[in-house]
Structure 1
Amino acid sequence: MKDLSLLMKNNIIVILFVFILSLSLGCLALKVGLENPFEIALLFLGLFATFGGAYWGAKVSGEKASKIAKNQMIMDDLKMYSTNNREFIKRIDECKIKVLINEVHHKGKLSDVLEFQVYKVNVRKLYKEVADCTMIHKGELSHSVFYPFELYKIKLSILDNYVKKSIIKW
């Protein structure tokens, strides 16, 4: 919202500057002795309006074209790998990964060493399962499917390393 009001203020300042400049040019033409100072002022104003409109139109057109091209690339990526994406997601859905995710991420407070050992084993299993699933289809999945699982794998790796280091403290 602040950006919009700042943009509006800048536009108003530029319009006022051009208007005052064109009136000044008209007054200067009147002092020099030209016949139609208002005509000169309007021509000067028209010149700025023409080039300003062309700039604004090109800017809006370029922004829209960039957005459409980005969306088209995403859709092409999804279309190209649609079969692999479905197989990958189906494998994740049918696998025991969902159960492991629930056991790892919805675990409450660990009260004793035995619970911590079970948690550690589940983290290790989950990391291995996710790594195996992402390695099977590596390079054959769309980025919008592969990237979140790759990030999840990295986070699980960090959690796994943390759990390994924490066992020493117990």
Structure 2
Amino acid sequence: MPERFLIVDDDPAFTRVLARAMTRRGFDTQVARNVEQALEMARETPPDFATVDLKMEGPSGLSLIPLLRELNPAMKLLVLTGYASIATTVEAIKSGADNYLPKPADADQILKALQVSQVPVDTAPDIPETPLSVNRLEWEHIQKVLQEHDGNISATARALGMHRRTLQRKLAKHPVRR
């Protein structure tokens, strides 16, 4: 019987391409557009693998991680997001995700990331030669403070000592790569 792969994401184009790629690789693939739909599918047939998007309509994908973990503790679970930051990475791993990837990611990168948890513990990750830029550090710090305030923009702006509109402009921009 093929292994089950659950894709939880509200982007129809991305899920269509990823589902097709995973099906070609021999997985029994299902797609859920939100947390409720994903839970319903997972309760019916718990998946062996899952990718979960963080930002979707309704509840965040973070709330789904521990629920999926309860249904199948052996499941390999990967968080995918276009809003990658250190704060959300830490929160996803604490919630029970095995790994975390920023979008865009292809099927091979996703499968490789799902296998990373099987790598021996003594294998150290690559450390980049150059440090993060000041702009990236600022973006990471904003994401951390935003996470601490449960996504509340006004409370985050007060904590950072900046105007709410300034914070909203910074959050509307895509993250700086390095």
Give the TM-score taking structure 1 as reference length. Answer: 0.22
Q: Which has the higher contact order (CA 8 A, sep 6+)?
A: 1
- Higher helix proportion, which one? 1
